[in-house]
Every structure is written in C-alpha cells, then in structure tokens.
Amino acid sequence: MSLWLLVILWGNEDRQRYYLVAFPENRSGPKAEIHEVHPSTSGLLLGWRYAPRKGDGRNPERVALFEKTMGSAVAYFDATLKRKDLTAFLDDVFFAIRSRLLADDLQAGRPKRRGQPGKSEGFPEGRVIERWHHARERASKAVAQAKRRALAEHGRLACACCAFDFQETYGEVGVGFIEAHHAVPLSTLGPEGATTRPEDLVLVCSNCHRMLHRRRPWLTAGTIQKLVRRKKHL
C-alpha cells in the first residue's frame, strides 16, 4: 500500500505545533493522525497511540500485536529534526503505520524498513533512546540520589510544585514513586555536558511534569508552583 504523509506546522519557535496525517493513496481514510507532543527530557517527541475500535471484540489482540512490534501501544517520533534526520523520521512514521495495518488485520510479523536494519531496529523510538541513552543511564543514578535526599530531608516524596504525595494517596502502590524533571533539558547538552547531578533534578508528580513541558521554552517549577498556589487562594 502506498502511503502519503501530510505535515502541518504552525505556531512559533516558543510553541511549535504539529499535525501529521498519514493516508493511503486511494484516499480511503487516514491511517494515523499524529499531533500529541510528548513531554521528554530528551527532546521534542510526538506520540501516537494505537487504539483500534473495530466491533468484533478482538481489539485487545490487535493492541497486543502492535505492542509486540513497537514495544508499546504508543509510538514515539523524534521531532527535533535536522535535514539529515528526515529520512529516519519518515521511516519511523511509516513503520508504525504499517505495524498498525498488520495489527488491524490480526496478522503477526514485522513490516519491512527501508535500507538495512541498524542497532535500533527493535522499535522506532530506539533511535531516540540510542541518541541519549548514556545521559539517561547517568540520570537514573542521579534520580535515585535525589529521592534519597528528599526522603532524608522531608521524610516523604512530595511534588515540588503541588505537594502531591503518591504514597499518601495510593498507599503501598505509591511507595517510592515520583517523577524527576530535568531543570536543564538533556537535549540542550552536548556529549561532554550531559552528566546529570541530583541538584539538577526537580521531583514532581505526573500532572505537574506534563505542565512543565506544556510550552517551549519549558516552564519552571517555580512558575507552576505559583500557578498552583494562586489557584488554591481563589
């Protein structure tokens, strides 16, 4: 099947918006509409969730097939594009769409990629992970240190923006859980400057983390904290 990709960009540098529509040459309807900006310390990612809605009761099987190929029900695409990365970006998009078509038809197997498979063949977002995996490995140690420091100082892991405590709300399930926000985006650091220290991290809940990445440039934890306090005092 021949596929076409329509890319719409609007907004400005501070808040760039994307809308990608993939449709077959016979114009039978879009196969993917990609527009969700996914918060990431690794750069700008677009996310697309495979959510089939066929009426035969077999949608869970379709999702399982898609996940087997993609590694997740959500496909991610690196939108921090440079001209040399365009081919890889398009390859990732079309790979995800062809994976969707196979899953729709309940067919197992992997669609073929253009060119020779590389290290990241396991799933498309592998290129993104491969690019920053060294920084992320170092960051994971810093996150653990930041959590230990917060527990030692405050006795709990509370969001720095809104004070939400996962353990307090969810009990045993929430013990030790909180997200870490990089005050300085990893994507802005060079290969030699990508070492993350505990003091570079802000521990936040999932909602505040998404709000921190809501705009570009990113909002600061202090800004979100002020917004939360202002809302509570209204």
Which one-letter amino acid corresponds to residue 126? G
Instruction: Name the token pair of 57.
Output: 């009761």
For residues 79-97, average pLDDT: 72
Which sequence spans correspond to the domains of the chain?
A: 3-124, 136-232
Q: pLDDT tens, 50-74?
A: 999 999 999 999 999 988 887 778 8
The share of the chain scoring above pLDDT 90, in percent, equals 21
What is the residue whose two structure tokens read 């140690």? 141
Q: What is the pLDDT of residue 216?
A: 60
What is the residue-wise DSSP string for 210-231? HHHTSSSSPPPHHHHHHHHHHH
pTM > 0.85: no
**60-69, 92-101, 148-157, 179-188: least confident range:** 179-188
Q: Where are the beta strands (DSSP E) in the chain?
A: 3-11, 16-24, 32-34, 36-38, 45-49, 74-78, 179-182, 201-204
CB 74 within 8 A of CB 123: no
Q: Which pLDDT band holds residue 7 (cuts at 50, 70, 90)?
A: confident
**3-7, 22-26, 81-85, 188-192: least confident range:** 188-192
